Amino acid sequence: MKKLAVLFCLAALPLLADEGMWLPQQIPQIAGDLRKSGIKIDPNRLADLTGDPMGAVIALGGCTASFVSPDGLAVTNHHCAYNSIRVNSTPQRDLLKNGFLAKSFDEELPAAPGSRISVTTKIEDVTDKVIGNLSPKLDDRGRDIEIGRREKELTAECEKPGGVRCRVASMFEGSQYLRFTSMEIRDVRLAYAPAEGIGNFGGETDNWMWPRHTGDFAFYRAYVGKDGKPAEYSKDNVPFKPAHWLKVSTARLAPGDFVMVAGYPGRTFRFHTEQEVTNSRDVTLPTSIRYATELSRILNEVGKDNRAIQIKNASRLRGLDNSLKNNTGALETLTHGAIVAQRHQREADLAKWISSHPQYAGVMESLRKINEEEVAMQQRDSLLFWIYRSSPMLTQARQVYRNAIERTKKDIDRAGGFQDRDQATLMQAATRAQSEFEPASDRAGLRFFLLESQKLPANQRIAAVDQALAKAGSVDAFLDSLYANTTIADLNQRKAMYGETTKQLDARNDAMLGFAAKLIPLTEANEERSEQIAGALSRVRPQYLAALRDMNGGKLYSDANLTLRITYGHVAGYSPRDAVMYAPQTTVAGVLQKNSGKDEFDSPPALLDAIRAKKFGPYADPRLGEVPVDYLSDVDTTGGNSGSPTLNANGELCGLLFDGTYESLGSDYLFEPITRSIHVDSTYMLWVMDAVDHAQNLLKEMGVTPAF
Amino acid sequence: MKKLAVLFCLAALPLLADEGMWLPQQIPQIAGDLRKSGIKIDPNRLADLTGDPMGAVIALGGCTASFVSPDGLAVTNHHCAYNSIRVNSTPQRDLLKNGFLAKSFDEELPAAPGSRISVTTKIEDVTDKVIGNLSPKLDDRGRDIEIGRREKELTAECEKPGGVRCRVASMFEGSQYLRFTSMEIRDVRLAYAPAEGIGNFGGETDNWMWPRHTGDFAFYRAYVGKDGKPAEYSKDNVPFKPAHWLKVSTARLAPGDFVMVAGYPGRTFRFHTEQEVTNSRDVTLPTSIRYATELSRILNEVGKDNRAIQIKNASRLRGLDNSLKNNTGALETLTHGAIVAQRHQREADLAKWISSHPQYAGVMESLRKINEEEVAMQQRDSLLFWIYRSSPMLTQARQVYRNAIERTKKDIDRAGGFQDRDQATLMQAATRAQSEFEPASDRAGLRFFLLESQKLPANQRIAAVDQALAKAGSVDAFLDSLYANTTIADLNQRKAMYGETTKQLDARNDAMLGFAAKLIPLTEANEERSEQIAGALSRVRPQYLAALRDMNGGKLYSDANLTLRITYGHVAGYSPRDAVMYAPQTTVAGVLQKNSGKDEFDSPPALLDAIRAKKFGPYADPRLGEVPVDYLSDVDTTGGNSGSPTLNANGELCGLLFDGTYESLGSDYLFEPITRSIHVDSTYMLWVMDAVDHAQNLLKEMGVTPAF
């Protein structure tokens, strides 16, 4: 009985990829690197926001997508469309479980309330207008308020002609301010999502893990008014005609192939100091992990044996579990990995360098002092955050009451999120929240955090909570009254509340509104403190960055902040630990291996049948002998990049970014040689659509000839 | 920031290894294959039991070892010496935790009572003497009794000259009988064991797992009387001078290198039928898993917070947890793997083949009928087995009482294990059991299985248990009386009991003896049933094997049965699942990665220091850049092979076999292309001895020049 043995060889091959999340206007700086790395299209095309391919890259709230047809069909991750699938699901018509395909435009379903598709159309440098000629007499808080006022003015000026949304974003630690103009499409509909057993195959178990076998893709369609302009949902709206859409690749990827990703990464901390990352390691992450663990446990407990409650809580739980695993992994890398040592070294180098560059003297000391101030009340601030996170109802009450307060002010003086331009968004959020209201879960979560508040140290107590509990006699008595005497969960009542004054709201004698009102002064006081700290930082952090740049010379990219970025790299596996090697591509053979027919590994029968029958047609990869599923690359991404189109050297869509590996969970702090992103292969997407879900209508729309 | 990416390539290389556990006398048959596979010494040397290297290979009870010095130094696995380390440990002098090194002969410690080293000195074919001229008039049971009687006679005849132990073993499903003669050394001492944080690094978590970083080695020394003959322990004994001992390799291994293993594999089921493996999958393994899980839980519970109880139960728990993981993995492969399908195919092929070979007609039907009979009472039989396993005290009571019954018979008519030749072993077992007596654990375990016995189906009840419980009124009342009224746990009392008649024992009015006595009739009845079934099988299974051999032609090896075997293969990694590849070697870098400083991953500081300081000297592998730790090969092994010397192409000791991979846990039923064994690299052993534990005395004794 002869047998085959699989032998491995490891080749250490220097790749030309750089870490970095580059702004489109930085492309000329890195064009040479892109060429050396293997890009075949002219890299400078990437600097043109309104051209091909960047004109096809779009933002969802917190995710990225891209147009893939002239009729506004947009592809993103299943997990980015998850809430839209959820709100259209009931235990009787469970689209999460079974998937959804509109066979024609009129079968498409409205996405979750508030869903938007944004197309960045212009980026302008407004640095001078934001921080030029700031009066030296301004104290720290005054300085931040003035910067904020100027940002709001620049936003208002930009949005005045109508039809666009604008945002001024601080780049390079406040050294530069850019104004982003976007067209915002407000009628978004769900066109297709595979069954959860494909789109979320592996669930939380496989989340952040490699090898992965998730078909994390779903399709939206953008609709506009008959005049071609963005409009609220109406059945008379028509599909949006984008100027550019991506061509879906029909080639196969191989290890070492060039790939790039365009998208909207959310937040990184690459310029955080040793003090800041140490505080993340010792306080912020452990606290967040503990609170998320408890809230997840509570929501699961309440929903046990009740599918209706499970669907209500599904998105919340998924968010909790996702950030829990993310934070746990990040804490692990912060504890055991190279991050803190790298910061320590960087700052030691910087201190040495500054000693011969006196113009930067004192920068690190100033930063240190401000940071100390910033964390002084962090236990209380964190708990306050989680009190709201635990209770969507209390969060709505706060929004209602805060809005009433802010609306008494001039528009320009209002807190962010409460200006006139935000009112529609507020109302959409109010509607969306409705689908998540689940009073038993709300109360159980809030109860835990109120009890936690009683353990806060004396100097960090939340007076409003202490008083409310003292008055009621006990947490349970307080909660009895809170939930018995509120109409906040009534959508019509709540919509009415958004139009009322504080006096009208007070007259309602609504317990939830009353509790929210008592908490608002602390929120406002915190914002004042934040403004003061932000003002101080706005003087120091640009200096810190300038010192780092001067010391190292050359290129720098700005930390992620939900603005459009480009990153590039190659398809590449890695070794997560001694004697284990991960190949960079998975195949449908692995789906069969993982499928258990239950829980998170429950593939739809049609998928299993197609794999077993090797119904692969032109989608098989001859090298792998199977249909590829997911792949790894060493591009530089983070949350917010989810759904980002992955483009091959020819600028064609060859996949969607949807995750990072567990070993990469510290990459928000430090990009390391083993940092990897996970993409779903466009080949798998096309094959599932063709062989499993019979979405031939969409394939044809994308210019792909169905094989089955 | 340029980075290195690790690329992988897979080469499917046909190796010349065969599955198979070959008897030394089969070597001429496979000498050609061994040469093609890369052996450099003359393969026929392996057929000479008294030559080099086979003369150095020795059996421990259930493990294998080998001589490595002219002074009787023998190396085996840490887990094979575990019980000897444990019995010498106390909470105050915790050799398990801290390791042990005798700096001179007189510091060596007696191994666990009953420890023996056996050297196979002769193998004779006695087939004719066992099954020749069996009267055709014998019924099935009579046939088995007659075979057993002949085996006992052949054993007695062989042992008559004294100084040796003999055993007649059935090979090839009863087609052949071989008589093995061994010299048995009874004074065995512990010379060296690394700390548990090396020898059992990874503990149960890593058990059966790859990648592995366990230094699973320990050293015994064999002692004999001044006359050079085996003797009981005496401080006047002298180190045994073996005729042959293995040279420890100082070369480094690489993937693809030839390796072979000589040892005493315990039990395989490669010739079990589909009916038998299906019963393993559906009944035997699930039951065993459930019972082991419960008993493990109970023992852990009792020992919680009490290190003395933990040490008492350590070996029992380790055995339970090991077989639990083994059985769980085996059940997984039986459920999801190729085993049942392979049997189904083999038997379908055989049925087809037999249809044109009428001399074998009816063989499979006969086997099926006998197997059905065999499993008819398996729930009861399994529970009876676990009742004894849960209670070392009841087991001793049974041995005492059974011995008294058997000793009334002529020696040749006694049940196996109770003949005159077994009396010394019985007494050693009695002494060894003492170190495991822990009445609270004993009672808690027995209680569970007595409660379980009350759930047996009506036709499989254990009458003696039912009556005892009915009489006592409740399980707890029964146990109260059982443990209050026994002196079985008193070593001196128990030794005395072994010399008493049943009448004397009855007169003791010992509750444990009384209960054991009531259970013995069922054991005897079961043995009668077994004899009848074994007799029936002795007619049919040789035919079944002959049919298989005739159908396939060529070589066959016999299932493992604790007799000396040789297997060969190559150092080789494997792919356990889609996109994951395991390299065949681990290094000390992986020890650092796994070390958490607690529980099962608690490396000794001296080891960590040596790794961090890269104090590698000549032990580093230039290719790996580190000291290698463990490696994989595709040799064919099973339990009992633990501690087996692994020899390189030159016949030098290059490691010790100590485990198989999780994906190989079905290999007792079917050897598959991904079946792999795990070995500790002799390089790691030498390095730990030299750089960490300062066992330079032993290194010099083995002819290795210390580097530190």
Q: What is the DSSP string of B554-573?
A: S---PPP-SS-EEEEEEB--
Please check whether residue A643 is in contact with residue A76, taking contact to mean a CB–CB distance below 8 angstroms.
yes
Q: What are phi and psi of A330, to 5 degrees?
A: -65, -40
The total number of residues shown for chain B amounts to 708
Q: Is the dihedral of CA B479, B484, B485, B488 positive or negative?
A: positive
Please check whether residue A437 is in contact with residue A489, taking contact to mean a CB–CB distance below 8 angstroms.
yes
Residue A8 near chain B (CB below 8 Å): yes
Range with the lowest mean pLDDT among A211-215, A343-347, A491-495, B16-20?
B16-20
Q: What dihedral do alpha carbons A325, A331, A332, A334 form, nearest 10°?
A: 150
pLDDT of residue A105: 97
Angstroms from A14 CA to nearest CA on chain B: 5
Q: What are phi and psi of A337, to 5 degrees?
A: -90, -160
pLDDT of residue A4: 33
The rounded percent of chain B whose pLDDT value lies above 70 is: 97
pLDDT digits over A406-453, tens only?
999 999 999 999 999 999 989 989 998 998 999 999 999 999 999 999
Beta bridge partners of A13: B5
C-alpha A442/C-alpha B70 separation (Å) is 76
User: Which residues of B are the active-site residues?
Assistant: 79, 216, 642
Question: pLDDT band for position B149 (50/70/90)?
Answer: very high
Question: pLDDT band for position B17 (50/70/90)?
Answer: very low
The partner residue sitting opposite A590, judged by closest CB among B255, B574, B578, is B578
Burial class (CB in 10 A: 0-12, 13-18, 19+), B250: middle
Please check whether residue A142 is in contact with residue A121, taking contact to mean a CB–CB distance below 8 angstroms.
no
pTM score, two decimals? Answer: 0.85
Please check whether residue A72 is in contact with residue A66, taking contact to mean a CB–CB distance below 8 angstroms.
no
Instruction: Using alpha carbons, select from A640, A645, A632, A648 the residue that is nearest to residue A34.
Output: A648
Residue B671 near chain A (CB below 8 Å): yes
Token readout for B618 is 């000549």
pLDDT of residue B8: 36
C-alpha A238/C-alpha A222 separation (Å) is 9
The rounded percent of chain B whose pLDDT value lies above 90 is: 91
Rg (C-alpha) for chain B, rounded Å, is 26
pLDDT digits over B522-574, tens only?
999 999 999 999 999 999 999 999 999 899 876 789 999 999 999 999 999 99
The partner residue sitting opposite A7, judged by closest CB among B6, B11, B19, is B11
What average pLDDT does the segment A16-38 reach? Answer: 88
Residue A6 near chain B (CB below 8 Å): yes
What average pLDDT does the segment B437-454 reach? Answer: 97
Question: Is residue B70 pLDDT above 90, yes or no?
Answer: yes
Beta bridge partners of B76: B218
What average pLDDT does the segment A106-111 reach? Answer: 97
- Helices B439-453 & B475-484, crossing angle to 10 degrees? 140
Q: How many CA atoms lie within 13 A of B345 on its CB side?
A: 5
Quick check: A589 and B580 CB within 8 A?
no
Q: Could you say which residues from 236 to 255 on chain B have a Cβ atom under 8 Å away from some Cβ of chain A? A: 255
* AA letter at B683: T
Residue B554 near chain A (CB below 8 Å): no
C-alpha B49/C-alpha B34 separation (Å) is 18
Q: Is B423 in a helix, a strand, or coil?
A: helix
The partner residue sitting opposite A583, judged by closest CB among B15, B579, B584, is B579
Q: Is A657 in a helix, a strand, or coil?
A: strand
C-alpha A153/C-alpha A168 separation (Å) is 10
Chain A neighbors of B577, CB-CB under 8 A: 211, 590, 593
Please check whether residue A644 is in contact with residue A262, taking contact to mean a CB–CB distance below 8 angstroms.
yes
Question: Is residue B445 pLDDT above 50, yes or no?
Answer: yes
First and final CA of chain A: distance in angstroms? 40
A42 CB contacts (<8 Å, ≥6 apart)? none
Token readout for A317 is 């739980």
Please check whether residue A563 is in contact with residue A264, taking contact to mean a CB–CB distance below 8 angstroms.
yes
CA distances from B584 to A4, A12, B79, B574 (A): 15, 18, 22, 8
What average pLDDT does the segment A292-297 reach? Answer: 97
pLDDT of residue A322: 85
Averaged confidence pLDDT in chain A: 94
Question: Is residue A162 pLDDT above 90, yes or no?
Answer: no
Angstroms from A674 CA to nearest CA on chain B: 8
- For residue B579, give the chain A residue with the closest CA: A583
Q: What is the CATH number of domain B24-116+186-269+559-701?
A: 2.40.10.120
Instruction: Using alpha carbons, select from A643, A629, A628 the residue that is nearest to residue A261.
Output: A643
Quick check: A589 and B578 CB within 8 A?
yes
Q: Is B520 in a helix, a strand, or coil?
A: helix
- For residue A256, give the chain B residue with the closest CA: B7
Q: Could you say which residues from 211 to 240 on chain B have a Cβ atom under 8 Å away from some Cβ of chain A? A: 211, 213
Quick check: A8 and B9 CB within 8 A?
yes
Question: Is residue B600 pLDDT above 60, yes or no?
Answer: yes
Residue B6 near chain A (CB below 8 Å): yes
- Which ranges in B376-462 belong to alpha helices (H)? 378-390, 392-406, 423-434, 439-453
Question: pLDDT band for position B11 (50/70/90)?
Answer: very low
Quick check: B11 and A12 CB within 8 A?
no
pLDDT digits over A526-540, tens only?
999 999 999 999 999
pLDDT of residue A554: 66
pLDDT of residue B163: 84
pLDDT digits over B401-425, tens only?
999 999 999 999 999 999 999 999 8
pLDDT digits over B29-59, tens only?
999 999 999 999 999 999 998 899 999 999 9
Beta bridge partners of B631: B585, B679
pLDDT digits over A447-473, tens only?
999 999 999 999 999 999 999 999 999
Whether cis (ω within 30° of 0) applies to the bond prior to A53 is yes
pLDDT of residue B360: 95
Question: Is residue B463 pLDDT above 60, yes or no?
Answer: yes
Residue B593 near chain A (CB below 8 Å): yes
Please check whether residue B255 is in contact with residue B641, taking contact to mean a CB–CB distance below 8 angstroms.
no
Residue A589 near chain B (CB below 8 Å): yes
What average pLDDT does the segment B490-516 reach? Answer: 97
Burial class (CB in 10 A: 0-12, 13-18, 19+), A612: exposed
Q: Is B23 in a helix, a strand, or coil?
A: coil
Chain B neighbors of A18, CB-CB under 8 A: 1-2
Strand runs labelled E in B131-175: 164-171
Instruction: Using alpha carbons, select from A7, A39, A89, A18 the residue that is nearest to residue A654.
Output: A39
Residue A179 near chain B (CB below 8 Å): no
Instruction: Using alpha carbons, select from B259, B246, B169, B269 the residue that is nearest to residue B567.
Output: B259
What average pLDDT does the segment B584-592 reach? Answer: 97
Rg (C-alpha) for chain A, rounded Å, is 26
Residue whose token pair is 């996970």: A678
Strand runs labelled E in B235-380: 238-239, 258-263
Burial class (CB in 10 A: 0-12, 13-18, 19+), A510: buried
Rounded (5°) CA angle B578-B582-B584: 150
pLDDT of residue A8: 35
Q: Are strands A57-60 and A3-15 parallel, antiparallel or unpaired?
A: unpaired
Strand runs labelled E in B21-116: 57-60, 63-67, 73-76, 100-101, 109-110
Please check whether residue B141 is in contact with residue B537, taking contact to mean a CB–CB distance below 8 angstroms.
no
Question: pLDDT band for position A61 (50/70/90)?
Answer: confident
Instruction: Using alpha carbons, select from B164, B68, B66, B182 the residue that is nearest to residue B122.
Output: B182
Averaged confidence pLDDT in chain B: 94
Quick check: B573 and A7 CB within 8 A?
yes
What average pLDDT does the segment A94-106 reach? Answer: 96
Quick check: A2 and B19 CB within 8 A?
no
Quick check: B6 and A572 CB within 8 A?
yes
Residue whose token pair is 């870490």: A19
Question: Is residue B373 pLDDT above 70, yes or no?
Answer: yes
CA distances from A587 to A279, A627, A675, B109, B577 (A): 41, 6, 22, 56, 11
Question: Is residue A673 pLDDT above 80, yes or no?
Answer: yes
